[in-house]
Amino acid sequence: MPVTWYEGIVKKITQVAPEVREFHLEIPALSTFDFKAGQFITFDLPIGEKRLLRWRSYSIANPPNGSNILELCIVRSEDGPGSHYLFDEIKEGAVLKFKGPDGGFLLPEIIDKDLVFICTGTGIAPFRSMILDINNSGKAHKGIHLIFGTRYENGLLYRSEMEELEKTMPGFRYEFALSREEDWTGYKGHVHQIYMGQYQNPRPDVAFYICGWSNMIDEAVENLLLKLGYERNQIFFELYG
């Protein structure tokens, strides 16, 4: 099946954390860009000759809403040529070539389990899409627990939005851990302490979704499977590097 490539115009760039920007991408060839919450798009960037160097994938951070504008939450990675190009070369009005949507990091059609979303950094992007999609559509769901980890308080992406949802969205909880904020009085360290403490007794009615860097995912999967005793079919993850 041939791949369809689109041109997206960068309509807005917002600095949302010291090393994180939100890019708003409009697809003028389409009135609606159809995707499912949790999916990603892939840019073809002029940063190398081989496909593996040029193609860079980013999760869609906004929910499906019938528009042709996508929101992408991107961190400048020290060893990421794609993010350096986007941060250093791309300005509002620039045109980017991309394909998608792709990805199977999706929620089931019928949500019959409590959902625990575990993420670090920009790994929150697909979860924001999922949570807003559930909230906006009024879809039936059980409890939703978002557990987010970052280094410093100024890196808490979408904090005010999540705190507002905690007040207005039935069954939604938001907690976070900071690993390097010295005077922090809340959870200090990594995200693992939160779910390890609150889900230490295995339950069949809970599903864990994990998104972030590979080391965090590896540790979380090992904790859930080997230390807490959850089943493999209760754990889903999306790798960010």
User: How many domains would you assign to the chain?
Assistant: 2
**What does the alpha-carbon distance between residue 56 and residue 76 come to, in Å, rounded to a whole number?**
13
- Both 150 and 216 in one domain: the answer is yes
pLDDT of 84 strictly over 80: yes
Q: What is the mean pLDDT of residues 167-188?
A: 96
Asked if residue 130 is part of any domain, the answer here is yes
Ranges 13-17, 52-56, 78-82: which has the least confidence: 78-82
**Residues 226 and 122 placed together within one structural domain of the fold:** yes
Output the furthest CA–CA distance in the chain (Å, rounded): 54
Backbone angles phi, psi at 160, to 5 degrees: -65, -35
With 90 as the cut, is the pLDDT of residue 53 above it? no
Task: Please check whether residue 159 lies inside any domain of the structure.
Answer: yes
Asked if residue 65 belongs to a domain, the reply is: yes
Residues of the domain holding 92: 5-102
CATH number of 173's domain: 3.40.50.80
Residues 144 and 235 in one domain: yes
Whole-number mean pLDDT of the chain? 96
pLDDT, tens only, 32-45: 999 999 999 999 99
Q: What is the pLDDT of residue 240?
A: 73
Q: Is residue 121 part of a domain?
A: yes
Residue 108 belongs to a domain: no
CA geometry: angle at 33 spanning 145 and 69, to 5°? Answer: 75
Same domain, yes or no: 61 and 143: no
Q: What are the CB-based long-range contacts (under 8 Å, 24+) for 6-10? A: 6/30, 6/97, 6/98, 6/99, 7/95, 7/96, 7/97, 8/70, 8/95, 8/96, 8/97, 8/98, 9/93, 9/94, 9/95, 10/90, 10/91, 10/92, 10/93, 10/94, 10/95, 10/96
Looking at 39, 71, 102, the residue that finishes a domain is: 102
Under DSSP, the state recorded for 93 is: T
pLDDT of residue 1: 72
Q: Do 119 and 202 sit in the same domain of this protein? A: yes
- Closest C-alpha to 85, from 74, 93, 100: 74
Q: Examine the domain organization and report whether 88 and 122 are in the same domain.
A: no
Partners of 211 in the β-ladder:
119, 238
Q: How far is CA 131 from CA 46, 47, 173, 184, 192, in A?
A: 34, 34, 11, 27, 21
CA 129 to chain centre: 8
Residues 127 and 47 in one domain: no
pLDDT for the residue numbered 52: 81
Residue 228 Rama label (left phi>0; alpha psi -120 to 50; beta): alpha
Q: Looking at the domain assignment, is residue 107 inside a domain? A: no
Quick one: 193 and 92 in the same domain? no
Grouping H, G, I as helix, E, B as strand and the rest as coil, residue 114 is strand
Contact in structure between 96 and 126 (CB atoms under 8 Å): no
Across the range 155-178, mean pLDDT stands at: 98
Nearest alpha-carbon partner for 165 in 127, 195, 193, 197 = 127
